[in-house]
Structure formats: C-alpha cells, structure tokens
Structure 1
Amino acid sequence: MHPLLILLLGTVVVIAGIVRLRIGAFFSLMLAALLVSFLAPGELADRVPRVLEALGGMAGRLSLIIACAAVIGKCMTESGAADRIVRGFLKLFGERRAPAALMCSGFALSMPVFFDTVFYLLVPLARALYRRTGKNYLLSILAISSGAAISHTLVPPTPGPLAVAGLLGVEVGMMMGMGVVVGFPVAVVGLWLAHAMQRRHAVPMRPLLGLTEEETPPQGGLPGLGAALLPIVLPVAMIALGTVVNALGAGENPPGWVVALRPTMSVMGDANVALLAAALAAVAVYVRQCRPGREGLHATLEAALMSAATILLITAAGAAFGAMLKEAGVGAALQGLFSSPEHRAVSGMTLLVSGFAISSLLKISQGSTTVAMITAAGLMAAMLEDGTALPFHPVYLALAIGFGGLFIVWMNDSGFWIIARMSGLTETETLKTWSLILAIMALVGLGLTLLLAQVMPMAA
C-alpha cells in the first residue's frame, strides 16, 4: 500500500476515534499506530512489539519530566505560589497596566501549570479588577488567555512542546529558550489585539451560572515571592548554566574551571535533574505553607501524578504513531512532495509552513492542541529521518508546529469552552474575540519563525 494512503488511514483513525467514537486520544493514537504498523513492511511477528517499543521508549524519556511538571503545577497552585506570582506582577505593573501584568502572569505560569488551571486561577483576579474599576473586563480575559496559550504550546515542560522537542531531537533547554524568545513577542501582539478587541466589543462581566465568586486569599497567607518563583527559575537556571558550560567546554583550550565543572554541570543541567530539583522545591514550599501532614502530602502528590499519567500515555502513544509512520515509509513519500535538493533554503521554508499547516489541520479537525502537535511532529520527524536536511536548527520546526496548534480554535476544543464558561462570554463573543486573536497570533508567530530561521539559522 502506498505510504501516503497509510498516512491518510492512520489520520482518519485518530480523528474518528477522538471526535466520533469518543474513545479518547490515547486509544485513538494506539489504534492508529497498530493499524499503520500492520500496513507497513516488516515481519508479521514484529508488528505489535515495535509499536510497544516506540511507546515505551518515549515514555521512558519523558516520564520523570512530565511527573515533575505535574507536581510543580499542583504544589504551586495549592501553596498559593502561583497566586503570589500574579500579585507580584500586578504590583510591578500597577493597576493601570493590570492587563500587561495578567498577560505576563499567564505566560509565566502556563510553563509549569496547565492552561485550564492557570485560567481558573487568574479569572477571579480579572473579575475583581472589573468590580473595582468597572472597565476592561474583556481585555483582562483576553490578556490572560493570550499569555497562557503561547507558553502552553511553545515552552516545556508542558506536554505538547516537550513531546515535539523529543520527537524532533531538540534539547529541552533550547526549546525552552527559543519558546520564550519567540513566544513572548507574540504574546505582546496578543495583548495589543486584546486592547483592540476591548475597544470594538463592549462585553460586560456577567454572573457565572452554577459558580460562586470566591474572595482571593489575603497577602499574608501566601508564600514570599522568592519562594514562589523558585520552582520556575531553578530549572531554567540549571539548564541554562549547563548549556553554557558545555558550550565553553566544547571549544579549543577551554579554561580550567570549565573543564572541572563540565562533568558536574552535564548532570545538573540535564532536564530530568533540573525538573526534579524544581519539583522538590515546589513540594518544600507547599509543605512549609500548608502544613498538610503526611496524608495530605500523599494525596496532593497522588493527584498530580494521576494527571501526569494521562498526559504521559497520550504523549507516548503519539510518539508510537509517529514511529510507525516512519516504518511505513511516510517520511520518504512526504520528502518527495515537499523537499527540493536543488533549492534547500526553499525546501526548509516549505517544511516550516508544512509543519504549521499539518498541525493546524489536525487541530481544527479534532480539537486537541497537544495531539495535533505530537502527530504533526511525528510526521515531520519521519521526513527528517529519511534524509531531508534542514538548513536551520530543528527548534524552528518545533516552533512552527506549536504555532499551528494555536490556529483556529473553535467549539471542538475544550479550551474554547473553559474560556467561554469561566469568563461568562457567549459562544459568538468567544469566536469573535479569542478565536480571532489566536489565529492572528499563530500567523504572526509563523512569520517570526520563518524570519529567524533565515536570519539566525543556527544550523549544525
């Protein structure tokens, strides 16, 4: 069977399983992986084991990182550390620039904390600001979601960008750094668009049906700003320092202190070690702040790990699906469609646009950004492993796929309903404002990625 037909059948199984059969992303991706494996060349006895091998390989590489990220997010939320960071931004920017503070808060918190949790956390602050000032409610809501959505799709350790980085061979530190460098300006564009939407659409703050308004906790009940920031700053600093020391050590005649530090920093700068240290810091802040006792701590960590298990299974299943597409020869078939050895730069730009387009189509069809990104990354990784040479660092392809996962958010996306229900917007208002802003941000992000890939390729 032709590889592109196998690709089509596998994609149909994923979309039908999620949208029509409602069996969830994990089973849909696993069924697609098994189908593609049986249609791909190879010994019959190897069809199931190679799927499980790919599943286990990705799970082994990402299990500790995802588990630690879930623990960090849960402990930061429970301890009040996330709330403390938001208040720090509000104090820094002042009430007049509160939307900028909310955007920065959403951007920072959505790295270790999941998007829906960040939105639940920040919406009460937006509502409290409106009750105090009587204006700019829609602006505050859009500012929160613009910042949070960008880092959710571009900056590890959130599952989507983490899995994409793993599939494309991008170091986690590089993905984090470039995700911030490229993503934050796009979030600023989102804030500017939110101001425009506020002027165009007069959306009042409405009561939330079935939900009670909770007062935010007093300042004295929250941890200090330094302690609150530690689980975010610590892994970034460790990974960045490890990267710098390794880069200095790779040159000719490195200084003696670099030679001495390099083995230690290779360990300390590993993403698994850095995230584990951050998780321990988050747990320490939670224990000191909440005094949960052994049973309470056990319950909190268990709840975090249960959510991590679901994400890990979906991520690993997406990797297995991508690996089976490689076995089927999909990479070589796509390479013939998109690459051109005579015009490598054009071929590279085409790959970026293709990654964006594939991720967008998958997002539109089945709703999940994470599934769309993982599946698109698997397809593009198959092309790269079959000989397509990138004239730039693969992190740009990862960014293009991430921005594709933001394009066209509508009613099959759970995030759409979280924003609509938790903010009190109607479906039409959400489509006219939030969905439109995300589409523009995605296109701006793709344009910025294309530009940087040309100007600063960082090719190996």
Structure 2
Amino acid sequence: MVELLAEIERVAEVLQSPVTILVVGIVIVIGMVVGLRMNAFIALVAGAVVVSRMSPGPWSASVARVAEAFGTVVGKIGIVIALAAVIGKCLMDSGAADRIVRSFLQALGEKRSSLALMGSGFVLSIPVFFDTVFYLLVPLARSLWRRTRKNYVLYVTAISAGAAITHTLVPPTPGPLFMANELNIDLGLMILMGTLIGLPTALIGLPICRLFDRAMNLPMRPYVGEKELEPLPDDELPPLLLSLAPVVLPVVLISANTVAKAIGAVRAVTVTAVIGDPNLALLLSAAIAMSLLVRYRGASLAELGQATETALMSGGVIILITAGGGAFGAMLREAGIEDVIQQYLNPNSRSAGVLILLTAFGVASLMKFAQGSGTVSMITTVSMFAAMKISPSMLGCHPVYLAAAIGCGSLVGSWMNDSGFWIYARMGNLTELESLRTWTILLIVLGVIALGITLVLSRLMPLLQFVGA
C-alpha cells in the first residue's frame, strides 16, 4: 500500500512538472489545429484551460484565470489591431495603396520594377494583412510581364519577400505586436529594430529572387476567362504624401516617444507619451485613412461604415487568436515554466544568449511547419519563452532580439498547410511544385538571413541600456 501511494505521488509530480505541462499544452494546440482542423482561437483557449488545470492552484479558479489573462491582452493590443485593420481596408479602397505602388514604379523605373514591387510589399504589409497586399500587387506583376515578356518569377517572389518580412517583424502586424507586448518591449523600439533587420534582409533577398527566375524561367499563365480590370486614372488617386500618411504617422509618433525616453528628454516625453501612445497614434492614422476614402472615392457615411465594419470583422478574428495566445502564455507562466530554462542552459555561459536565440528560431520554425500559420507560430512560441522569464543579462541583449529571432523562425517552414502558400500559388497561377521550389525555399533563405542579421546586431549593439526604458 505504501509503495502504491508513493507511485501515485510520483506520477502526480510528473504530471505537475513544468516540462510535462508545456508539452501537453503544445500537443493540444497543434493537435486541435492540425488534426481536428479547429480554429486557432479555440485551440489556444483549450490549451490554456488544460494548462491552467494542471498548474498549481484551486481548480475552481482555473477557467477564471484564463479569462482574466485573455482580457488583459485584449486591453493592451486589441484597439491597435482593430485600428490597423481599418487603416489597411481604407488604404486599399481609397486607392492610396495603389498610389504608393505606382510611385515606387515611377521612381525606380521599369528596369528596377522588381525592387519597386518588393518595396511596395515591404511598406504596405506593415498596416495591411499579407494576403491583401498580395492581391493588390500580383496584377501589377502580371501586367509587367505582359510588357516585358520576362522575369515573372522575379516579380512574384519579390512581392512575397517584401510583404512576408514586415509581416513577421514590424508592428502593428499582429504577430510582432503581440511579441512586443509579451516581452515588454517598447513598441517604437520593436518597429525600429524590425525595420533595421527586415530592410537588409529584403535587399539581400532580391538577388536570390533573380536566381529563382533564371533557374526556372517560367512564363505568366493566364487565368481561365481572365479579364484585365481597368486601373483607376492617376488623377483619381490620392497624392503620395497623403497616401503614405496613414502608414508613416503612427511609426513616427510611436518612435518619437521611444527616442525621447531613450535620450532622457523629460519635457519632450510629456508630449510624446500622449501622442506616441499606440492607441492614439493608430486612431489618428485611421482617421486620415477614412478621410481619404471619403474624399477620393466619394464614399458616403453608410459606405464608410460598411468598409470599417468589414475591416473590424477580419481584425476581430485576429484579436481573438492573439488574446487566446496571451492567455495560453499566462497559464504557462503560472505553471512555473521559467524553471525549464535553468535545467537546460547555464545562465553564466557566454554562449547562453546565442543558444536561446537559436532555440527560439528553431521552435518558431517547427511550429510554423507543423500548423502553417506564421502568426500562430509567433504567438505560441513567444508565449513559451515569455513564460520562462529569461532575463536580459542571461540573454546578453535586449529582448527585442528574442522577438526578432522568433519572427525570423516564423518565416521558415511554409508549405501546403500555410494559407500564404496557396495565396501565392493560386494568385500567381503556379503549380504546387513550382511554389515549393520558389516560395518555400525563398522564405527559408530569408528567415536564415534575417536570423544572421539578428545575431550580429545582438552582439554589436545589445541595447541593454534600453531595457525597461
């Protein structure tokens, strides 16, 4: 009898160990998304509830803890995501996004059209969801091929590279926004460092896109019953500065607050803390974007209301998934998962920080490969690492580099279970094999390049003086 009780106690200890709880939580999330085809929100909340039940504390409060954590995340980033969705919708409908793309093409010329398409994707994917950016730009790639009769693969891969990079590294895109919140990173710093890492990655990626184009040399294939839509005349589009304003304004305001705090400008901070608040900055940007829709497309108040409602419906799904991930991460923290890092890493080792960044990259890549969504990969992976409470001193650099490493990892592993893969294949009218040989390999290369830049920057400028700023 004593032996039986001892065995039961040993099993109970194993079941309540942080490692077991972590593994069970991940299996539930991946199993429900991949095996049962459940929405990521349901999977993350279910995983959070199970983790909460397995963690120390009264069972009666387990679900309440999940709901409280869910509400906390919505309160921090829900407004920003909703407003970003409205900005993206109004940029598309008003013609402002079209103006930005045309300006890139005019400035760089037809010979540098691939750079123009990449730059357009890079800029527009900050406030606009990736699939929407691709829908906007692929017709331009097809139009360029009709004029030049060459470089079709270059055009579509350049669009993919530019849009995918900022989608995974630069807020207010939901994944990077959530990572900044979970790791307590100043949003302005996340924007600046995401751009600093993403820009050279995109530029290095462009020659790789050219290699794909030379190796495959594929023609553009027409859609069945394709009819080319007549583009809007230039004089009906908003001017470039106004078109850029909804994208640039929040970046400038939020970054100004970050810089003011970093340099200790006390008087300036009293102003930038207000205008640089992400919620207010995005609200001002959304107001400008909506005014463009009214002024340049003649939208009535009813039509404006319909456009914003459509945007909020798509943004609402992202908010639910993001907050579900926040609840999942909060329950992992309550399970004491931070002890895991002490078991496998020597905090006094000089290589501990690099090893943590490499591990974060690897976990994010595996999560992306397993379930397909880059956003879910970022949310789940950062929830795990945030729960480990890795100190900046142990990391050897600012946590913004940990967020960047996870973002880089979420680029890797895109194949047939990723909606982005099918958007690329169907909109580009490419076969599955052609998409695997271009899209999938390209994102792997970009992810590794971005990780390399992240590792180098984390050693050259660790930014430890900005921790807690």
TM-score (norm 2): 0.94
* Residues 386 and 52 of structure 1, relative CA distance in 2, 3 Å threshold: farther
* 2:257 corresponds to 1:242: yes
* 2:355 corresponds to 1:342: no
* Residues 212 and 8 of structure 1, relative CA distance in 2, 3 Å threshold: farther
Counterpart of 2:330 in structure 1: which amino acid? A
TM-score (norm 1): 0.95
* 2:160 corresponds to 1:141: no
Q: CA deviation at 1:241?
A: 2.0
Counterpart of 2:189 in structure 1: which amino acid? M
* 2:316 corresponds to 1:309: yes
Cα distance in structure 2, aligned partners of 1:386 and 1:329: 15
Deviates more, 1:6-15 or 1:27-36: 6-15
Choose which of 285, 295, 299 in structure 1 pairs with 2:292.
285
Q: Partner of 1:84 in structure 2? A: 99
Give per-residue Cα distances to partners, 1:128-179, cap 9 Å, x unaligned.
1111111111100000010000000000011011011111111111111001
- SS of 2:351 mapped into structure 1: helix
Cα distance in structure 2, aligned partners of 1:387 and 1:150: 25
Q: Which runs of 5+ in 2 are unaligned?
A: 1-14
Q: CA deviation at 1:336?
A: 1.6
Q: CA deviation at 1:385?
A: 5.8
**Are the equivalent residues in 2 in contact too, given 1:124–1:214 (CA < 8 A)?**
no
Give per-residue Cα distances to partners, 1:23-77, cap 9 Å, x unaligned.
2000010000001110111112221111111100001101110111001000000
- SS of 1:131 mapped into structure 2: helix
* Residues 185 and 386 of structure 1, relative CA distance in 2, 3 Å threshold: closer
Q: Partner of 1:160 in structure 2? A: 175
Q: Partner of 1:43 in structure 2? A: 58
Spell out the pairing of 1:88-103 with structure 2 (5 A cutoff): 88-103=103-118
Cα distance in structure 2, aligned partners of 1:185 and 1:385: 28
Q: Which runs of 5+ in 1 are unaligned?
A: 251-257
Moved over 4 A (4+): 385-388
Give per-residue Cα distances to partners, 1:227-256, cap 9 Å, x unaligned.
1000011111112222232333x2xxxxxx
- SS of 2:389 mapped into structure 1: helix
**Are the equivalent residues in 1 in contact too, given 2:249–2:281 (CA < 8 A)?**
yes
Cα distance in structure 1, aligned partners of 2:179 and 2:219: 39
* Residues 396 and 459 of structure 1, relative CA distance in 2, 3 Å threshold: same
- SS of 2:245 mapped into structure 1: helix
Choose which of 307, 313, 317 in structure 2 pairs with 1:300.
307
**Are the equivalent residues in 2 in contact too, given 1:124–1:216 (CA < 8 A)?**
no
* Residues 259 and 39 of structure 1, relative CA distance in 2, 3 Å threshold: closer
**Cα RMSD, aligned residues only:** 1.4
* 2:395 corresponds to 1:380: no
**Are the equivalent residues in 2 in contact too, given 1:208–1:422 (CA < 8 A)?**
no
Cα distance in structure 1, aligned partners of 2:251 and 2:77: 17
How many residues matched? 450
Cα distance in structure 2, aligned partners of 1:374 and 1:180: 20
**Are the equivalent residues in 1 in contact too, given 2:246–2:289 (CA < 8 A)?**
yes
Q: CA deviation at 1:269?
A: 1.2
* Residues 208 and 52 of structure 1, relative CA distance in 2, 3 Å threshold: same
Cα distance in structure 1, aligned partners of 2:462 and 2:390: 19
Cα distance in structure 1, aligned partners of 2:230 and 2:150: 19
Cα distance in structure 2, aligned partners of 1:119 and 1:322: 31
Counterpart of 2:124 in structure 1: which amino acid? L
**Are the equivalent residues in 2 in contact too, given 1:208–1:423 (CA < 8 A)?**
no
Fraction of identical pairs, as percent:
49
* Residues 47 and 387 of structure 1, relative CA distance in 2, 3 Å threshold: farther
- SS of 2:352 mapped into structure 1: helix
Q: Partner of 1:253 in structure 2? A: none
Choose which of 56, 60, 63 in structure 1 pairs with 2:75.
60
- SS of 1:384 mapped into structure 2: coil
Q: CA deviation at 1:386?
A: 8.2
* 2:178 corresponds to 1:169: no
Spell out the pairing of 1:415-430 with structure 2 (5 A cutoff): 415-430=420-435
Deviates more, 1:189-198 or 1:108-117: 189-198
Cα distance in structure 2, aligned partners of 1:210 and 1:45: 60
Q: CA deviation at 1:346?
A: 1.0
Q: CA deviation at 1:390?
A: 2.5
Q: Partner of 2:446 in structure 1? A: 441
Q: CA deviation at 1:259?
A: 4.4
Counterpart of 2:379 in structure 1: which amino acid? I
* 2:417 corresponds to 1:412: yes
Q: Partner of 1:254 in structure 2? A: none
